Structure 1
Amino acid sequence: MSARHILVINCGSSSIKFALIREDREDTLLSGIAERLGSAESELRWQSGEQQHSLKIPHAGHRQALEQLLPQVQQHADGKLSGIGHRVVHGGEHFTAAHLLDAAALAAIRSVSALAPLHNPACLQGIEAALGLYPELPQVAVFDTAFHQSMPAQAFRYAVPEQIYREHGVRRYGFHGSSHRFVGRRAAELSGLPVNDSSWLVAHLGNGCSTCAIVNGQSRDTSMGLTPLEGVVMGTRSGDVDPGLHLYLGRKLGWSLQEIDNLLNKQSGLLGLSGLSNDMRTLEQARSEGHAGATLAIDVFCYRLAKSLAAMSCALPRLDGLIFTGGIGENSPLIRSQTVAHLPLLNLAIDPQANARSVGGQFGEIQAGNHPRILVIPTNEERQIALDTLALLPD
C-alpha cells in the first residue's frame, strides 16, 4: 500500500495554518498559512522545500482560502489525500483522544466553546468549511486537552464547590497536549526506554509555555488549567497570579473584567516584565547589553519555570529525564542553563558545551556526566496530529 497523506489544519478566527504530512516521512511536504481572512489584505502563503509562494485572496473566508489551497495539496499528495486532521484547542471532558468528526462530535465541540471562546468557534469554522469541500474524506479532531484527561482528580480539581465543577466544568484541563505527547514518546525512543515504563518532566516553551509530568506515556499533571493563562510566565500571559488580583484592580482602577483579562493575556508575561518585547531572542540580546527589564523578565521566567518543574515532579515515581522543547526550549541555551540552575535538589546539571550545541532544531543530550538526562527534543505537533488522524482512518 502506498504511503498516505494527511492535511493538518489549525484554524484561528482570521487565519488557517496548514501542513501536509506523509506518513513515512519526518519532514513536511507543504506548509503555510492563510492570514488576515475576511479583510482586503487576505493572503495565502505556502512553502515546499526551499520554494516559497504567496497568493493574494482579498476578502476570502475560511472556505475560500481552503479552496485556493486544495490544488497545491493535491499536487504535493500526488492526488491521494487520505484524510484531514483538525487541531481543536478544547475538548472539555467529552474527549480523551482524537475523534472522527460526525454530527455528535461537532455538537460536543460546540458545547464546550464557552471554555475556549477565542479558539473553538474558529476551529469549527475551519472544520465546517473543510467538511463542505471534502465530504468524501475522513476528518478527525485532535484536541489539545485530550492528552491531559489521564490526570487524576487530585491534579485536575480546583478547591471549589462540587456544583461548580459538575455543572460548569470548572477544573484544570491543560493544553499543548500534542506537543507533550510527541516529545514524551520521542524521549523514550531516543533513550531506549519503553514508553509504558518511563517518567519525564517536560517544558514546552514558546510564546505559550507549559510544563507536564508524563508517566508511562500519560499526562499526570500539567501547568495550564481551565484556560491557557494558568501556570508559568509566557510571552504575553502572566501565568499564575493571585486570583484576588481581579477584584483588586476592579476596585482600585475601576477596570472591567475584559480589561483585566486583556492585561493578563496580552500585556503581561515577558512583555510586561521587560517593558520591551515578548520575544526571547530580543530579550537575550537586550540582557547582554545591560537592559534591566530584560534581565528581570528572564530571571522571573526561569525561576517560575523551575518552580513549576519541581512541582510537577510530585507526580513522578522516578525521574528518567527533563525535556526542553518549543521555540525557546529548543533554541535557548541560556534559558535551559538558568532554569536547571534552580533545580539542584533534583540532581540536575548541564554540560555547557553540549547545551551550546543544541540549537536550531537539533536533538541533544545536554546533562553533565552522572546526572539525570536533560534532553532537547524538537516538537512536531503537526506530525502528532497526523499520526492521531491516521490511527482512526479505516483500513
Structure 2
Amino acid sequence: MEILVINAGSSSLKYQLINVETGGVLAKGLAERIGMDGSNIVHSWTKNGNENKKEICLDLPDHTVAFNTISDLLVSEETGVIQQREDIKAIGHRVVHGGEHYTQTQIVTSEVKEAIKELIPLAPLHNPANLIGINAAEKAFPNATQVAVFDTAFHHTMPEKAFRYAIPEKYYREDRIRTYGFHGTSHKYVYEQASKHLDKTDLKAITIHLGNGASMCAINEKGESVETSMGFGPLAGLIMGTRSGDIDPSIIFHMAEEMNMSLEEIKNVLNKQSGMLGITGSNDARDVSKLYHEGDKHAILCYEMYTHRIKKYIGAYTAVLNGVDTIIFTAGIGENDALTRQLSCSNLSGLGIVINEAANISKNHPKQPVEIQAENSPVKILVIPTNEELEIALQTWEVVR
C-alpha cells in the first residue's frame, strides 16, 4: 500500500509517497521558505528504475499553495508516480499538538480537526499549518483516509514528577496545564535507529532534534521518553529559529506592565521574532553560519548562546538518566551543521563526551547513522538522519489496514 505523508512545519512542507510494505520511497520533496522570499520546491521521484529530481522556484505565500503544487507534481505526466489521485488510499499527517487526549495515532474526523484547532494556542506556528495540510489533502484526495500522527504521543511515558508544573493542582486537573513535549516522532525514530546501529536494546540516549524548531529528549533503557525540553507548548527549551526558548517569566510581566505590550504582542515576539532571528536578523541557520564564518559578532553570539543552551540540557539529562550511552544529533541543523555539533560537545569530557573534530566535519550530511566521537569517548556521539515520514507512514498503516 502506498501512503502519502505530509509533514508541515512552520516554514516548510516535507512529503513522501511511501510503499509501506517495502519501505520504498516513490516520490519525495521539500517545499522551503514558505511565506518568505526565495521559496522553492525540490521534487524527486523514481520512474522505471531511474531517479529524477526537479527544482521549482516559485512564490509560496502559504501552505495551501505549496500543497496544491505538490499534489500536481505527484500526478503530472512528467514528474508523477501515480496515474490519478484516487490511487492514494491513505494520507498520514504530522500534527504537532494532540493535547492529553490524543496519545495515539487517530483517523481524522471532524472531532479530531476541531481538537487540533482548539490546541492552536499551544502550538501557534504548527497546528495551523497541520490543519491546512489536512484540509487541502481532503480536497485534493477525497477518497483517501486522513490520519493524524501526533508529536506529543511519544512523551506520554514521562513520569508525573517530570510533566507537572509547580503551580496549584487545579490548573492541571481542570485545565490540563502540564508538559506535553514535541518532535516525538523524530525522537522515537532516531532512538530506534541508534539502538539498531549500536546493537544495544537497553540504550540510554539523549536525542537532539535541531531544526527551525528544536528540542531534546532523555530516553531511558526501556526506550521511553522520561524528560523533554519543550513543555506545555513548543516555545520552551532550546533557542530556535524564531522562538526564544526558556525565558524568565518575569520578563513577560515586565513587558506587559512596564512596556505596555499586549499579550498578543508578547506572544508574537517570543514565538515569531526571537531565537536566531532576534539575535542575528535571520532564522535560517545557513545564513547564520555564513555570517559566523565572516566574523559577524551577532552570528558568533548566536552560536555561543544556541550551543550553550544545548550543553545545559545535556548535563541535566545525563543526571536524569544516571549516565548516558549516546548523544544523537538529528534534523536539519543537527545533521548538517558541524559547527553546532562541535560547540555543543566541546568541554564535556567530564561527562564522558569527547567529539572527534575531523570525523565531525567529514561525516557531515550523512545518509545513514554515523559516529563522530573520539576513540577515548565513553559516550557515543551519533548523527542520524531523521525520517519522520517513514515513522508516520508506518503508524498510519497500522490504523488503516
Bin for the TM-score computed over the shorter chain: 0.7 to 0.9
Shift of 1:223: 0.3
Map of 2:371 onto structure 1? 365
- Residues 1:313 and 2:324 are matched in the alignment: no
Residue among 287, 299, 306 paired with 2:304: 299
Residue among 145, 150, 154 paired with 2:157: 150
Q: C-alpha distance in 2, partners of 1:58/1:11?
A: 13
Q: C-alpha distance in 2, partners of 1:347/1:178?
A: 28
- Residues 1:20 and 2:17 are matched in the alignment: yes
Map of 2:274 onto structure 1? 268
Q: What SS class does the counterpart of residue 50 from structure 1 fall into?
A: strand
- Residues 1:187 and 2:189 are matched in the alignment: no
Q: What SS class does the counterpart of residue 262 from structure 1 fall into?
A: helix
Q: C-alpha distance in 2, partners of 1:46/1:247?
A: 46
Amino acid across the alignment from 1:289: E
Contact 2:105 2:150 in 1 (8 A): yes
Amino acid across the alignment from 1:246: I
Map of 1:7 onto structure 2? 4
| CA RMSD across the alignment | 3.2
Residue among 51, 54, 57 paired with 1:52: 54
| Mean Cα deviation higher: 17-26 or 58-67 | 58-67
Report 1:274-353 matches (<5 A): 275-353=280-358
Contact 1:347 1:372 in 2 (8 A): yes
| Distance change (3 Å), C-alpha of 1:269 and 1:104 | closer
| Mean Cα deviation higher: 289-298 or 236-245 | 289-298
Shift of 1:248: 0.9
Unaligned runs of 5+ in 2: 46-50
- Residues 1:384 and 2:386 are matched in the alignment: no
Cα distance per residue 1:351-375 (max 9 Å; x no partner): 1221111212343201111321100
| Distance change (3 Å), C-alpha of 1:263 and 1:46 | same
Residue among 166, 179, 184 paired with 1:177: 184
Amino acid across the alignment from 2:268: N
Cα distance per residue 1:3-36 (max 9 Å; x no partner): x211012357998643212232455623244997
| Distance change (3 Å), C-alpha of 1:375 and 1:290 | same
Q: C-alpha distance in 2, partners of 1:112/1:36?
A: 22
Q: What SS class does the counterpart of residue 253 from structure 1 fall into?
A: coil
Shift of 1:382: 1.3
Identity of paired residues, percent?
Answer: 42
Unaligned runs of 5+ in 1: none
| Distance change (3 Å), C-alpha of 1:365 and 1:316 | same
Contact 1:32 1:47 in 2 (8 A): no
Residue among 356, 375, 387 paired with 2:382: 375
Q: C-alpha distance in 2, partners of 1:304/1:59?
A: 33
Map of 2:27 onto structure 1? 29
Contact 1:204 1:324 in 2 (8 A): yes
Shift of 1:98: 1.4
Q: What SS class does the counterpart of residue 394 from structure 2 fall into?
A: helix
Q: C-alpha distance in 2, partners of 1:105/1:241?
A: 32
| Mean Cα deviation higher: 6-15 or 328-337 | 6-15
Contact 1:213 1:219 in 2 (8 A): yes
Cα distance per residue 1:268-298 (max 9 Å; x no partner): 222322x343333333333333322211111
- Residues 1:233 and 2:239 are matched in the alignment: yes
Contact 1:158 1:171 in 2 (8 A): yes
Report 1:112-127 matches (<5 A): 112-127=119-134
Contact 2:18 2:390 in 1 (8 A): yes
Contact 1:101 1:139 in 2 (8 A): yes
Residue among 252, 260, 272 paired with 1:246: 252
Contact 2:238 2:309 in 1 (8 A): yes
Q: C-alpha distance in 1, partners of 2:322/2:333?
A: 28
Map of 2:212 onto structure 1? 207
Shift of 1:213: 0.7
Shift of 1:129: 4.2
Amino acid across the alignment from 2:238: V
| Distance change (3 Å), C-alpha of 1:289 and 1:43 | closer
Cα distance per residue 1:305-350 (max 9 Å; x no partner): 1001211223325412000111111122222121112423311001
Contact 2:34 2:60 in 1 (8 A): no
| Mean Cα deviation higher: 249-258 or 318-327 | 249-258
Map of 2:265 onto structure 1? 259
